[in-house]
Structure 1
Amino acid sequence: MSGTIELDRDGKTLVIGFPYREDLVEEVRALPSRRFDRGSKTWRVPIAHAELVVATFMKHGFEVSGDVSGVLAGTGGAPAPAAEPVADAEPDTSAGMTISQLNERARAALRSAFPKRVKVVGEVVDFEKTRGRSHLFFRLVEKSGERMAATVDVALFERTAKQILPTIEKRGLTLRDGIEIMVEAKVDLYPANGRFQLIIEDIHPEFTLGKLALSREQILAELRKAGLAERNKLLPWPRPALRIGVLASPTSDGWNDFLREIESSRIGFDISLFPVKVQGDELESTMLEGLEWFAEHAAHFDALCIIRGGGSRTDLAWFDNRSIAFAVAEHPLKVLCGIGHERDVSVLDEISSSMKTPTATAAFLVHEIRATGEELRATTRRLADLTRERIATERELLAETGAGLRRAVHGRMVREHAMLGAAASRLATATGHRIERERRSLDDAFRRAVRAVRVRLDRERARIDTADTRRRLLDPTAVVRRGYTIVRDASGKIVTDVSALKTGDTIDVAFRDGRARSRVEQVHRDTEKES
């Protein structure tokens, strides 16, 4: 709180008090008929300028007393000075009008032109700057596309606000910047500064809620046309869903309710929170950023939850956003939406799996895991029963097969034994016959071999005799005995040709009865024989 605005005990003067600030001093000095009281160190302004005083200092966070609020609402304080008559007795303006006279005449003309309350439609701007104060001052604007075409200042005084705001909130409408509203208001002008404004006396929530519903239906119609309205809803539910992504405000009650329900289940969920704004101008950008992040990392998650605590329909209308709706509809993860209460429905509720509240969303996750666990246990029990039955059946079959196999083996062994005996008998008989045949064949072969060897021996003996005869005939000793001699050179080699000798060679001459060593005196070649 920067300062206070109170009504003096005389009921005619406003008392403005605040710690010294140069900018506030400049503001108060601009007020008409202001004076500074040194004793109390406060500023005093006639009550006739109450509206101007409140409008000037409310934007600085001043606290307005109940008496002053009553004066503004027309229920307390001294009666305001009568306005100068305009139509009946116009002042002498030959010397020029004062600003006050001009503003009063303009005010009277304005009230005459708008004697009754008027209905005005516009988008709320700057409401958040005065939220929480006794008197609410903001603007209504008319837009042409994204351009501001016209604007008007509005005032919602405390007494009226206490009557209107609870009523419209019960209908689902909470005033905030950015929504379009229809008000019933008096058209007025502050004489002190000539500012034209509307004094709100009523607000029609059905207008705003109807506009929001129309906007929601337009987005849904686009999704249906694109074939996306049911896409995310039809994604199969992953089992088990333990890796959960969450888009929520980490400081919100909705997130705490969700987390409390998850933790109380004592199930090993892996929860990953991506912090987002759940209302206001930053909702769209943070929500789209979170949706994109989870889409890029979809392989690491089973499902995605969008969490927000309760609120009015206008609070939840932040989620009726085309870009967010398309991002959710096309998201690769199954999306659970828990952003309101049982009676509230947003676009996201229509296109995803709506769980209504954060607690209900967490309870659904817990229920699905427990249901999956129970199904798994039931399946395990059924599998165990089937396994036992199958084992018993197979054991019986195995016993029957074993008995049959033993009988078959015994029969086969008997048959094979008989066959083996017969084969052995046949083999013995065949072997005896074969041995006899082979013996006869061997005897025949032996006799043939003996005959062949004898013939061969006879041939070889004749050949040897012939060779011996030739040897004897060619034996040099026999030649020598017939009167011939054998001449050998110094190396013992027989000399058969005179050309092998030369004068002076030593030769050995073998005779029938001995040997003689001779030296060649002369070599004479018989040329007649050569010719």
Structure 2
Amino acid sequence: MTTFTLYELNSLVRQAIENAMDQEYWVEAELSECRESRGHCYMELIQKDERSNTPVARASAKCWKNTWGMLQPHFERITGQPLHAGLKVRLKVYAQFHEAFGFSWIVTDIDPTYTLGDMAQRRQEIIRKLKEEGIFDLQKELTLSPFALNIAVISSETAAGYGDFVNQLADTPFAFRTQLFPAIMQGEQVEQSIITALNAIYQQQNELFALPFDCVVIIRGGGATADLSGFDTLTLAENVANFPLPIITGIGHDRDESVLDMVSHTRVKTPTAAAQFLISNTEKTQHHIEQYEERIAHFVKNKIEVEQLRLANLSERIPPLFSLTRAKQETLLERHLQAILSHLQRRFEKEEHRLDLLEQKVTALDPTLLLKRGYSMTLHKGKLLRDPSQVKSNDELVTRLEKGTIISIVK
């Protein structure tokens, strides 16, 4: 029996594959991995059993730089997102076996319409499940407070859209207060990152001395990627639909609504549009208050005019003998008028005093005051550290001081 070197045997395999599979094929598969290196795209393909979800086939695929440079922008333009793990794709490939690197499929074309169809099917399935669970419209049933000034924001801290949102709210006469709950807004970690932020908001909302939030704003802006797949997941949609506060989304895209947009209380296109929505809500409230003030003043003025006219008519019919009675009635009317005005004045002063107390309470709860007095706060995983048993070796601690922060590692 002839003995071959490994290279010789691999050469025979290569020749056999080249002779038997000398054409291109369209193949449907799911991406279990997708990465770029030096301009080339390397993929891991997988096929799962439809009933058990168990992998029944695997293969490696490569798309060389020259081809990938044309296919990538076309795919992202059509589908609105880049290739990533979990997508179902239809690829045109040919077989290649290399003596040193083994077998792989070489990609020459990608059909974005196939992926679009699969994405649409999955989105419709998510929507169907949400409606079946009876939670699809839960957020729409919530009422946004007319005094929605305390805003919880879920966004990337470095996103340009977040800065635009905060600056636009600050450039108003209204006392908006925002608190950022940082989250990853693109890629595979979007779902869990936003859910973690929602849980943190819910926990703070139920703390004894915390100032309650009026609503939650989820915004995403800036960046070159068009990846929005993380906003089309069942788990994230369920968390948003069941959240007890109105959620406003301003994810910053012009294509069809994501599932997250559909289940939220209000959907706007951009972070700046979200800010404008909140500003308009407050302006509308201010307008109503001004209208009520005008109506009260108008009512009081009409009441005075009616009473004066009534007294004038009575004075014409009452003999001069009863002029004293007229004087008493005028005095009584004046007292009524003074009582009304006094009541309104006390009511306004009471409301102003209540607002001052609220402002003092908010100021007293400001942690920066403690920092200025020489105290410090140590954070562990973004939360205030109260018990040393909560940390372990190599954990990172962040100590906030008046004039900066110190990062330390637990030994």
The partner residue of 1:320 within 228, 232, 236 is: 232
Match of 2:261 among 349, 355, 379: 349
SS in 1 for 2:174: coil
Change over 3 Å in CA distance of 1:202–1:109 after alignment to 2 = same
Q: Does 1:259 align with 2:171?
A: no
Given residue 294 of structure 2, which amino acid in structure 1 is its aligned partner? R
Deviation at 1:273, TM superposition (A): 1.2
- Return the alpha-carbon distance in structure 2 between the equivalents of residues 334 and 318 of structure 1: 21
How far has the Cα of 1:314 moved from its partner? 6.9
Q: Hey, what's the Cα distance between the residues in 1 that align with 2:68 and 2:85?
A: 16
How far 1:310 moved relative to its partner?
6.2
In structure 2, do the counterparts of structure 1 residues 223 and 321 end up closer, same or farther at CA, with 3 Å as the change threshold?
Answer: same
Q: Distance in 1 between matches of 2:272 and 2:20?
A: 55
SS across alignment from 1:345:
coil
- C-alpha change, 1:179 and 1:409, in structure 2 (3 Å) is same
Q: How does 1:165-184 map to 2 (within 5 A)?
A: 165-171=72-78, 172-184=80-92
Residue number in structure 2 paired with 1:301: 213
Percent identical: 30
Alignment correspondent of 1:376? 289
Asked if the contact 1:174–1:312 (Cα under 8 Å) also holds between the matched residues in 2, the reply is no
**2:76 and 2:226 in contact (8 A); partners too:** no
Q: 1:410 to 1:312 in 2, by over 3 A?
A: closer
Q: Does 1:153 align with 2:60?
A: yes
Q: Is the 8 A contact 2:159 2:222 kept in 1?
A: no
Verify: 1:141 aligned to 2:49, yes or no: no
Q: Tell me, what secondary structure is at the counterpart of 1:274?
A: strand
TM-score, normalising length from structure 2?
0.69
How far did residue 312 of structure 1 move?
9.0
Contact 1:169 1:312 in 2 (8 A): no
Whole-angstrom CA distance in 2 between matches of 1:405 and 1:210:
90
Question: What do residues 370-392 of structure 1 show as CA deviations (whole Å, max 9, x unaligned)?
Answer: 23223322332233223222232
* Inter-partner Cα distance in structure 1 for 2:111 and 2:235: 29
Whole-angstrom CA distance in 2 between matches of 1:411 and 1:200? 107
Distance in 2, matches of 1:113 and 1:380, equals 88
1:304/1:336 contact within 8 Å kept: yes
Q: Call closer, same or farther: CA 1:288–1:381 in 2, change over 3 Å.
A: same
Residue 229 of structure 1 is matched in structure 2 by 136
Consecutive unaligned residues of structure 1, counting only runs of 5 or more, are: 1-93, 413-531
> Which amino acid in structure 2 is aligned with residue 201 of structure 1?
T
Alignment-mate amino acid for residue 276 of structure 2:
A
The residue aligned with 1:208 is 115
Could you tell me how far apart the structure 1 residues matched to 2:123 and 2:320 are?
83
Indicate the RMSD between aligned Cα atoms, in angstroms. Answer: 2.9
> In 1, Cα distance between the equivalents of 2:168 and 2:28?
43
- The 1:411–1:284 alpha-carbon spacing in structure 2 relative to 1, beyond 3 Å, is closer
Offset at 1:309?
2.4
2:18–2:95 contact (8 Å) kept in structure 1? yes
- The structure-2 alpha-carbon separation of the partners of 1:403 and 1:326, relative to structure 1 and needing over 3 Å to count, comes to farther
Verify the 8 A CA contact 1:209 1:313 in the aligned structure 2.
no
Take 1:182 and 1:175, find their aligned partners in 2: how far apart are those partners?
A: 12
SS at match of 1:228: coil
CA distance in 2, matches of 1:361, 1:247: 12
In the alignment, the residues of structure 2 paired with residue 225 and residue 402 of structure 1 have an alpha-carbon distance, to the nearest angstrom, of 75
Indicate how the Cα distance of structure 1 residues 115 and 407 shifts in structure 2: closer, same or farther if over 3 A, else same. farther
Q: Matches of 1:253 and 1:126 in 2, distance apart? A: 30
Which SS does the other structure have where 2:171 is aligned?
helix
The size of the alignment, in residue pairs, is 316
Distance 2:315 2:147 in 1: 45
Partner of 1:394: 307
Higher relative contact order (CA 8 A, sep 6+): 2
After superposition, give the CA deviation of every residue in 1:121-152 in whole Å (9 maximum; x if it has no partner).
Answer: 33323424x36x32222312223456444321
Following the alignment from structure 1 to structure 2, what is the Cα–Cα distance between the partners of residues 256 and 183?
A: 41
Larger Rg over CA atoms: 1
SS of 2:140's equivalent in the other structure is: coil
Distance in 1 of aligned mates of 2:285 and 2:279: 10
Question: Normalized against structure 1, the TM-score is what?
Answer: 0.54
Distance in 2, matches of 1:268 and 1:326, equals: 32
> Is 1:362 the counterpart of 2:275 in the alignment?
yes
SS at match of 2:273: helix
Q: Give the deviation of 1:401 after TM superposition.
A: 6.5
Query: In terms of mean alpha carbon deviation, does 274-283 or 394-403 score higher?
Result: 394-403
Amino acid in structure 1 at the alignment position of 2:235: S
Structure 1 contact 313–344 (Cα < 8 Å) conserved: no
1:114 corresponds to 2:21: yes
**Alignment deviations for residues 348-389 of structure 1 (CA, whole Å, 9 cap, x no partner):** 111221112222111211222223223322332233223222
Looking at structure 1, the residues matched to 224 and 82 of structure 2 have their Cα atoms a distance apart, in angstroms, of 6
Deviation at 1:97, TM superposition (A): 2.5
Q: Aligned-pair distance for 1:105? A: 2.0
Secondary structure of 1:197's aligned partner: strand
Stretches of structure 2 that go unaligned for 5 or more consecutive residues are: 326-411
Given candidates 115, 125, 146, the residue that maps to 2:32 is 125
2:27 is paired with a residue of what secondary structure?
strand
- 2:106 is aligned to 199
